[in-house]
Amino acid sequence: MPTDIYQNLIELSLKGPLKDNHTCYQILDPEKTELLPLLQSAYTLRKRFCGNSVKIHILNNVQNGLCKEDCQYCAQSRDSKASIETYPMKSDEEIMEEARNAYEKGAFRYCMVFSGKGISDRRINHIASIVREIKKRHNIEVCVSAGTVTIRQAQILKDAGLNRLNHNLNTSENIYKRICSTHTYEDRLKTLQSAKQAQLQICSGVILGMGETRDDIIEMARTLHNLRVESIPVNFFMPIEGLPLTLPTQLTPEQCLRILCLFRFLNPRTEIRVAAGRELYLRDMEVMAFYPANSLFMEGYLNTRGKSRRKTLQMLKDANFTIESDKDLDALLQRENAMEDTLKSQEQDKDIGYVLTLKKGKDLRILKSHQ
């Protein structure tokens, strides 16, 4: 494979979004480009705009289940039979304790997620007060995912000090109607536009592995570039038992890495997060994801466990990545290694590898598990 193709990808990306789909096809096609040079080219862009550091995000599933939407990929949807623990909004005390926990564990950003399509003005004002208090107590960025929001609601959150609003596009416009009927792709675009008008930063991502074509993948990456989102979480479909959507896990580690490279080439300045599914799909090639991507979720996802903190931090250190945090990576690792109950929390870190497992109450509600 000529080496100039990889340098050309870098130069084209720096000039603006890749103009033609043919170039994007090359990135996704193992017959046209070799993986390691492709990863190195993506890393050149990542390092130029994001450095060599990784931003750690910790999710707080503030309200779980009880959702009237029919999103086929979601364990919280009304049609899901997944055995998740449902609960209404957590208390302020619980939310604040989990914010403190995220900060102490080295998180750069604390992400609060609320199930449901939208949210009332009363709830928005309540969330705004929580955001103010978190920002007062901890040097940590805050992101909220609360379904659809209006411009006025987005402005309330902005005025409270919210750093980012999350609202994922999830898939292409073409596929959206296959995976959800209770709201539209356009509804999601409107929320992102509301956040932009309120001058909030936007976090908006995708879920790969739901039957999309190469053109769908390219469209997602281009759409997010055109929206000028600041952060793109790239998720891979989690085949949780009981979901309405049942698909085989056909994505290979190489396909996942190529998709991450495509998102980097089309969004060179953007924070790209390797999100749900990284342990399941990337397997022994997981660390390679951080050549195109520069952030991750630690302590698992909304309803599924992830790799342990210790193994996540050790992976980053071994690959010579740093973290953006008030906390020192070596100090965090030392503390994790010293914890007497470390082995108890690492049931999935045995030699058998990662096993997709739903979170239990103690994973979802830290304060209650200590009482």
Range from 57-71, 313-327, 336-350 carrying the lowest mean pLDDT = 336-350
pLDDT at 350: 52
- In a domain? residue 24: no
Q: 175 and 210 in contact (C-beta within 8 Å)?
A: yes
- In which band, very low, low, confident or very high, does the pLDDT at 18 lie, cut at 50, 70 and 90? confident
Q: 333 and 308 in contact (C-beta within 8 Å)?
A: no
Q: Indicate whether 141 pLDDT > 80.
A: yes
- In a domain? residue 6: no
- In a domain? residue 170: yes
Average pLDDT of the residues in 106-121 = 94
Distance CA 214, CA 230 (A): 23
- In a domain? residue 181: yes
DSSP string, 52-78: TEEEEEEEEEEEBS------TT-TTST
Output the domain CATH number for residue 276.
3.20.20.70
- In a domain? residue 9: no
Q: What is the pLDDT of residues 292-317, one digit of tens each?
A: 999 999 999 999 999 999 999 999 99
Query: By residue range, what is the domain housing residue 340?
Result: 53-369
Q: Indicate whether 370 pLDDT > 80.
A: no
Distance CA 253, CA 155 (A): 40
The beta strand positions in 109-189, using DSSP E, are: 109-114, 141-145, 164-166
Cβ-based burial of 214 (10 A; exposed 0-12, middle 13-18, buried ≥19): middle
Which tokens go with 258? 């190529």
Distance CA 87, CA 242 (A): 18
In sequence order, what are the residues at sequence separation of 6 or more whose Cβ sits closer than 8 angstroms to the Cβ of residue 194?
A: 149, 150, 151, 153, 154
- In a domain? residue 356: yes
Q: What are phi and psi of 228, to 5 degrees?
A: 55, 45
- In which band, very low, low, confident or very high, does the pLDDT at 16 lie, cut at 50, 70 and 90? confident
- In which band, very low, low, confident or very high, does the pLDDT at 101 lie, cut at 50, 70 and 90? very high
Domain count, the chain: 1
Q: What is the pLDDT of residues 177-190, one digit of tens each?
A: 999 999 999 999 99
- In a domain? residue 25: no
- In a domain? residue 1: no
Average pLDDT of the residues in 147-166 = 97
pLDDT at 345: 52
